[in-house]
Amino acid sequence: MKYEKLVDRFIAYAKVNTRSNETSTTIPSDPKEVAFLAKLASEIKELGFADVRTMKDGYLFARIPASKGKETVDPIGFIAHVDTADFNAENIQPEVHENYDGESVIKLNDDYNLDPAVFPNLHNYKGHTLITTDGTTLLGADDKAGVAEIITAMSYLLDHPQIQHGEIEIAFGPDEEIGVGADHFDTKNFAAKFAFTVDGSIKGELEWATFSASAAVIKAVGTQVHPSSGFGKLINPLIAIIDVFNLLPNERPENTKGDQGYYYLLNLDGDGDSAMANLIIRDFKRDGLAKRKQILADAVKKVNSAYPHLVLELSQHDQYYNMADILKDHMESVHLAEAAFKALSIEADEQPVRGGTDGSKITFLGLPTPNIFTGAENLHGRYEFASVQDMELATDVILKIIELHSK
């Protein structure tokens, strides 16, 4: 095997619980992430990465210096996140299934299976070695696969000094899954001209267009009186919020696809006294996002106007923007990745992502950062799995990007 340590590295990282914490007000959101990043720091120092440093925002930065004679090549960067999604991450036990036949049901435990009838994508992995969960946790390949691939590619370069390359910047960060990790990414201290997040999924993914995103909180204060004497007096805050949602266009994640945006009610909590809802709005176009925010604001206003006093309060904030708005004028990084895919006979899938990436934020901070695949699927839950062959390919892509760029 070309990358002897890739699998061991990935499994070792996957076993560490680094679930981020949405309710935290600090970045990194959880001490578990800090501890894992500190361990990574000593590991990459030992491997020979230069300039290993922890930044104020929790990011671990490092550098692979240019080969002699390649100092004038523009530095490029690779970025991955260490936190895992909002799913059980206690006692993760990755399981290796060698030479999968592309047909069988993979038993995770007595209650859960990976069944090609449910996940037909499994047919694509005939002959692959798959790494799955034991059915009780997520795997965390999102994005421990990216971390392992970047470290493996860099350590390959360090072990093969005959490969000539320019300077490479590396960053491992916290809290991607709760959408805040990259908010303060220190582009000024990250010397790359452009970078890649290694945080995609299926082989071939090359993502440079994402949603533009905004989040809304609706708070409602009701008037609680006994229902027997409620006539004309009782105001039910839960109903007020439901009324708002029913005024919105019927565009929801479950009935939109492709380039269509949506409104998504994340939660609704409360009682007769007060209630609160969180929802998110997604649209590929900036003006489309603005229009949807206005529709929500108008709906709140309309419901409020039916009451004798203010019942609903709305706050909205933008989360990230479609990175294609910037990247369309800075396509060098995308073209480089396309060339690397082509050289490795990987068919590029450049469909806009119905989501965002750390790259969306980092791109808007001034560092063009498309996203490439990691070789894992069914992310964020117990059905997550990674293909060893595709993880190797992702590692090949990183090295090929560097090789082509350094010519």
Rounded to whole angstroms, how far apart are CA atoms 384 and 95? Answer: 11
Active site residue 176: yes
How far apart are CB 149 and Zn ion at their closest, in Å?
A: 13
> What whole-number distance in Å separates Cα of residue 388 and Cα of residue 385?
10
Straight-line distance from the first to the last Cα atom of the chain, in angstroms, rounded to the nearest whole number: 26
Nearer to Zn ion, 292 or 382 (CB): 382
Residue among 85 and 154 whose Cβ is closer to Zn ion: 85
Beta strands in 285-365 (DSSP E): 312-320
Selection from 7, 29, 145, 124 nearest residue 81 by Cα: 145
* Residue placing its CB nearer to Zn ion in the complex, 170 or 303: 170
Instruction: Judge whether 169 counts as a catalytic residue.
Output: no
Determine the Cα–Cα distance for residues 131 and 12; give it in Å rounded to an integer: 12
Amino acid at 205: E
* 159 contact partners, CB below 8 Å, separation of at least 6: none
Identify the burial level of 25 via C-beta atoms within 10 angstroms of its C-beta, where 0-12 means exposed, 13-18 middle and 19 or more buried.
exposed
309 is known to lie in a ligand binding site: no
Shortest distance in whole angstroms from residue 199 CB to Zn ion? 4
Question: How far is 381 from 122, CA to CA, in rounded Å?
Answer: 16
Distance (Å) of CA 73 to CA 148, 194, 264, 321: 25, 12, 45, 30
380 annotated as ligand-binding? yes
Length of the chain, in residues: 407
Least CB distance to Zn ion at residue 357 (A): 7
Residue 111 CB neighbour total at 10 angstroms: 9
Instruction: Report the chain's C-alpha Rg in angstroms.
Output: 23
Is 81 assigned a ligand-binding role in the annotation?
yes
> Least Å distance between CB 267 and Zn ion?
22
At its nearest, how many Å lie between Zn ion and the CB of residue 208? 16
Q: Which amino acid is located at 314 in the chain?
A: L
- Three-state DSSP class for residue 113: strand
Instruction: Provide the minimum distance between the beta carbon of 201 and Zn ion in the complex, in angstroms, as a whole number.
Output: 9
Catalytic residue among 33, 169, 176, 358: 176
Choose between 18 and 322: whose C-beta lies nearer to Zn ion.
18
Per the residue annotation, which of 33, 83, 243, 396 is the catalytic one?
83
- Applying CB under 5 A, the residues found at the interface with Zn ion are 142-143, 199
Cα–Cα dist 147/124, whole Å: 24
Which 8-state DSSP code applies to residue 213? Answer: E
> Is 177 annotated as belonging to a binding site?
yes
Please state the residue numbers annotated as binding site for Zn(2+).
81, 142, 177, 199, 380
Please state the residue numbers annotated as binding site.
81, 142, 177, 199, 380
Write out the catalytic residue numbers. 83, 176
